[in-house]
Structure 1
Amino acid sequence: MLRLKKASLWPLPARLASAALTAALVAALLHLAWLHGLLAAVQAAQGEEARLRTTYLQAQARAGRLPGWREQQRRAGAELARLEWQLPNSQQMAALLSDINAAGQSRGVQFTLFKPGLPQPQAYYVALPIAVQLRGAYHAMGELMADLARLRRIVTVHELALTGGKDGMLTLDAVLHAYRLPDAQERAALARVPPLPIQQAPLAWRVLPDFIPLPYAGTALPDPFAAPLQAQQAQQAQQAARGGVAGPDLRRPRAALESVALPALSMVGSVRHAGRLSALLLAGQRVYRVEVGQHLGQDHGVVTAISEQAVQYRELLREADGPWRERRGSLGLQVAGSAGAAAKASLPEAAP
């Protein structure tokens, strides 16, 4: 019987067979270890293949959406350019302020305060606050707010406060904010400011609907400040009965030329249209066409007659709480330089 302790004494065939069997077992163990490592590598490769396949499919899906994204980028760039066009640069701000002033004058609203403040740089724009105080009728104020919304540039209204007066006119205190693009120095200053942390989140871009400002539609509504005027109108009627003339209609919308003092108006010509003679009045750099019955001046003036040589008007004045008094006057034709002034100016018709 063969024993392992006496393996050296085994016959040669037995020793050779034992060595061969041992070598076969070692080889089998090594092969099993190699197969185990190879199996792990195959499984890892299969996992990597699945991951790469998923990544490829996702990239292929994104590539399919690339034309749409490029179109969105193009539309976003066009929308950004359109929005930036609404922001003037520093050289164009003077024209914007002039447009605001002209909008008030066209509605018969008088600016008693127009004070621009210090620029307020923001991340992408510069806000210019403008403290204003206006006097005018209630509905004229509403029409002016609608006109500001229809300006080519962006103007917003803040801190609005309305105060009624004894003469029927309202005082509006507000802060207008005009916006412009930053200049080179302001952009350099903003570039030195560290940006605020932004949360990483997917951006969803969509086209904003076009903002179409609506016209003022409150003309037919009653003036909420007109109720206290009823007693005042009754008092005016009593005063007119004792002496003087009837007072003006304080609730009517103010005309464009009522924000201009009469000494600043001059007659530069006349035109005849549909058989009616109209006068051409120069106010500043603009020429207005007025007819009989239209209002002008800051004392409730109204045109009573027009000839080729002069414009006759009537004003209503009042001292303290006394009766209304009538004052009449005329604007004579200014011959010298009138043709040149009329040629350079536009001819809008003054609102009645």
Structure 2
Amino acid sequence: MTWDEINNLQLEDILQWPVKTKLIAAVILVILIGAGVWFFFISPENEKYEALHSQVADLKEQVRNKQLLAANLPAYQAQIQEMNHRFLSFLQQLPDRSQIPSLLDNVTLAGRSRGLDFNLFQPLPEVDKNFYAEIPVKISVTGTYDDLGRFAAAVAAMPRIVTLGDITLKPIAEAPNTSIGQALKPQRLQMSCVVTTYRYLADSKTGNAK
């Protein structure tokens, strides 16, 4: 069939068209209907399906994550309880305000009982650290290396938390002595440091101490 023949076809004469022409026209009509159905009905539904499929995948991932969290929840709760227990144990090692003077007296006693001489014992301003406060005391002591070591060990072994910081050591110049006893005598040192203890603040906003 030529193009001229196609142009000469009339819709009202459709029943008289050749069979081949009818078949071609039917195929074209089916293609046009199929294309219309695809673009106006199937394609939008496919897009909705893909969007819903993606949402389902995301929801499944969220469910898996929540199931994993739920499975680990007892372990997390046990860890929190252990942390709370350790925190309470730590707080019990912090002296309250009424215990500070006796604690500092114990630090002095620990030094003197180990042969140290105190040259300086100067309380410094309290330092607020949110939920606790640092109570520093600057000290200067003299003694042998062994005496200073035993003093540091005694401070570390105290039931309340006490730390030594900003430590400086220097030898003490002594007058020369030719006697054998003086020559064998251990070198005396001067140690300057900051002794710090800590006080728990029950109310970090108001500063009221426990």
- Give the TM-score normalised by the residue count of structure 2: 0.70
Gaps of at least 5 residues in structure 2 are 17-21, 176-184
Larger radius of gyration: 2
The partner residue of 2:192 within 153, 173, 178 is: 173
How many Å separate the matches in 1 of 2:97 and 2:10?
A: 106
2:168 counterpart of 1:160: yes
Tell me which residue corresponds to 2:142: 135
Q: How does 1:217-296 map to 2 (within 5 A)?
A: none
Fraction of identical pairs, as percent: 21
Q: What letter matches 2:85 in structure 1?
A: A
Tell me which residue corresponds to 2:180: none
Q: CA deviation at 1:126?
A: 1.9
Gaps of at least 5 residues in structure 1 are 191-352
How many Å separate the matches in 1 of 2:53 and 2:137?
A: 69
CA contact (8 A) 2:172 2:189 kept: yes
> Given the superposition, is the C-alpha separation of residues 173 and 29 from structure 1 closer, same or farther in structure 2, using an over 3 Å criterion?
closer
SS at the partner of 1:135?
strand
CA contact (8 A) 1:90 1:183 kept: no
Which structure's residues are more often helix, by fraction? 2
CA contact (8 A) 2:163 2:197 kept: yes
How many Å separate the matches in 1 of 2:196 and 2:158?
A: 13
2:50 counterpart of 1:31: no
> Given the superposition, is the C-alpha separation of residues 23 and 117 from structure 1 closer, same or farther in structure 2, using an over 3 Å criterion?
same
CA deviations 1:82-137 (Å, max 9, x no partner) are 22222223332223212212212332323232110111222443222211122334
Q: What letter matches 2:34 in structure 1?
A: A
> Given the superposition, is the C-alpha separation of residues 110 and 26 from structure 1 closer, same or farther in structure 2, using an over 3 Å criterion?
same
Counting matched residue pairs gives 182
Q: What letter matches 1:144 in structure 2?
A: F
Q: What letter matches 1:67 in structure 2?
A: P
* RMSD between aligned residues: 3.2
- Give the TM-score normalised by the residue count of structure 1: 0.44
CA deviations 1:248-293 (Å, max 9, x no partner) are xxxxxxxxxxxxxxxxxxxxxxxxxxxxxxxxxxxxxxxxxxxxxx
The partner residue of 1:113 within 120, 130, 148 is: 120
SS at the partner of 2:72?
helix
Q: What letter matches 1:47 in structure 2?
A: S
How many Å separate the matches in 1 of 2:37 and 2:160?
A: 82
How many Å separate the matches in 2 of 1:12 and 1:107?
A: 124
